[in-house]
Amino acid sequence: MANDQSGQILVTSAATRFGIPSRNSHRIIYGFAADFCETDGAMNPLIKLLLEGGGLSTAQMAQVLNLTEAEVNHQLDQLKKDRLLLGWRPVLNLADEDAGVVRAVIEVKITPERGGGFNRLAERISRFDEVESCYLMSGGYDLLVFVNGSSLQKVAGFVSEKLSTIEGVLSTATHFLLRSYKEQGFLMDVKAEENDRLKVAP
């Protein structure tokens, strides 16, 4: 392993075993360790990079994966057709009070319907603008719902006036998020370069 004049790490590996063509040396850059592409067949390397790569451009992703940018774009198009890639969202630090965003997690118990189970109610709840995410869960409640609002009162109003009044909703338990320490792989209270170094830390 060595550094070239651009500061990129040059390595050689058996990445061809994982569907990535060999082109002499493999440049593992933008904070990613040399074994990043070695997924043991468990995950498409591009999907893994999308999950961990932050805001990399397609050109940067191509460098990390040792592909051409055209090949990356082709794979992205296929992921969209397969509905594995639904869209792109920024990772925001909303801890600042001036951000004007209140977030809450709501545990929801619902009555499953004959022939449809939890699906119809879960889809109905998911359609509210206030709902960021909605998951079917095992355990003491059925749905875990992430909600955003401009104030505590707005979120409380959504729960009491919209969510709790839906037929089939048995109970709700609301937990307001007070502080975020990590979002989608990014630590909130460290500098950007420190987040990059975490990717290669043992």
For residue 112, what are the contacts with CB-CB under 8 A and spacing of at least 6? 118, 142
Summarised one tens digit per residue, pLDDT across range 15-25 is: 333 344 444 44
pTM, two decimals, is 0.58
Cβ-contact 35, 12 below 8 angstroms: no
What is the chain's Cα-based Rg? 21
Domains (ranges, CATH) in the chain?
A: 2-81 (no CATH), 97-176 (3.30.70.920)
Can you give the pLDDT at residue 91? 58
pLDDT of residue 60: 81
Q: Six-digit token pair at 200?
A: 């290669």
197 pLDDT more than 60: no
Task: Write out pLDDT tens, residues 49-58.
Answer: 777 765 677 8
CA separation, residue 96 to residues 11, 90, 93, 152, 156 (Å): 41, 16, 7, 15, 21
Whether the pLDDT of residue 136 is over 60: the answer is: yes
pLDDT at 200 exceeding the cut of 50: no
Sequence letter at residue 128: F
Task: Please write the tens of the pLDDT for every residue from 102-113.
Answer: 899 999 999 998
